[in-house]
Amino acid sequence: MGRRTERHEWADHPELLTSLRTPWDKFRKADWNFSRYEYEVSKRPCHIEDVSFAALDFCVSLTALRDWTKTALAKDCRAGRRTLPSGLGNLDDWQQFLGGAIPWLSAIEAIANTTKHGKYRDDGWPKGIAMLATFVPPHLEEEKDNCQDGLALFNFMQRYWDVAWWDIALRQHGQKEATPGNVAFREALDAWQTLLTDCGFNARD
């Protein structure tokens, strides 16, 4: 089938397929995904698969927000209803602009693109790794560190199921320190809310 040559009559109505209409609607969807992920991280016992799937869903949703916002900005700027945010002179520079405005953007997009396409993609986040990791209260750190292998760690997590949890750990190959997804994803979501507000997108749209 050839590509459509004429603009579709419903092109400006994504709500007909998604029930979402504006970037703010899309942000609320990403915020909902984060809440689901946060809930899975905070559950006791905390289940590996539930945390992992919720994190992947959040990254895909937040990456889609990038595209929704650019599309809406382009349309509104052409119509004279909106101006580009401060620091963005041209929509061609959108990705570069976001790189300075949204922390962890490259990591989140790498996770989302790999999730969608089934191939490792680390554009902007070279040799990125997002692995499930165990987290415990400080008084259990030494005992956890003494686990000799995965089986010992699994038994440790089972023993302390009521206080230990799983989360995504974000780092680049060669780095020893990792950032928990719960920290990185919250920073990115908060930055998106600020950016959308600065662009004039809000619940009244």
Q: Which band of pLDDT confidence, cut at 50, 70 and 90, is reported for residue 28?
A: very high
pLDDT of residue 191: 98
pLDDT in tens, 30-60: 999 999 999 999 999 999 999 999 999 999 9
C-alpha to C-alpha distance for 26 and 41, rounded to whole angstroms: 23
pLDDT of residue 4: 58
pLDDT of residue 19: 87
Higher-confidence residue of 205 and 118: namely 118
Share the mean pLDDT of the chain. 93
pLDDT of residue 6: 85
pLDDT of residue 195: 96
Q: What's the maximum distance between 2 C-alpha atoms anywhere in the chain? A: 65
pTM of the model: 0.90
pLDDT at 3 over 70: no
**Residue length of the chain:** 205
Q: Which band of pLDDT confidence, cut at 50, 70 and 90, is reported for residue 130?
A: very high
Query: 3-state SS of the chain: helix, strand, coil percent to 5?
Result: 55, 10, 35
